[in-house]
Amino acid sequence: MASSASALLLLFLVLASTDMGPTTVAEARTCISQSHNFKGACISSTNCASVCRTENFPNGDCKTRGLTRQCYCVKQCS
C-alpha cells in the first residue's frame, strides 16, 4: 500500500513539475518589397533571391501579380 501511494505521489510531482500552461511565442513580421534590380519575368525564385541579396535582402521569391510574375525580396522586419 505504501509503495502504491509513493508511486502515485511521484507521478503527481512529475506531472505538476512539467510546464503545461500556454506558451507565448513572439513571431517576427515578414517584410516584402518588389525588387528594383530584377529585370524581366520572374521564372526562378533562385535567381530572384540572388538579385535580392544584392539589395541587402536575405531572400527573394517569385510571386504572381495580375498576369505577370515579379520578383519580391523578403526579410524579417526589424
Assigned domain for 5 exists: no
DSSP 43: -
The answer to the question of residue 71 being in a domain is yes
pTM for this predicted structure: 0.63
Model confidence at 2, pLDDT cuts 50, 70, 90, reads low
Within a domain: residue 60?
yes
Best CA proximity match to 36, nearest among 52, 21, 47, 12: 52
What are 20-69's pLDDT values in tens digits?
Answer: 556 666 678 999 999 999 999 999 999 999 999 999 999 999 999 889 99
Q: CA-CA distance, 43 to 70, in Å (whole number)?
A: 8
Identify whether 66 is part of a domain: yes
Check which CATH number belongs to the domain holding 48 and give it: 3.30.30.10
Is 36 among the domain residues?
A: yes
Range of the domain at 50: 28-78
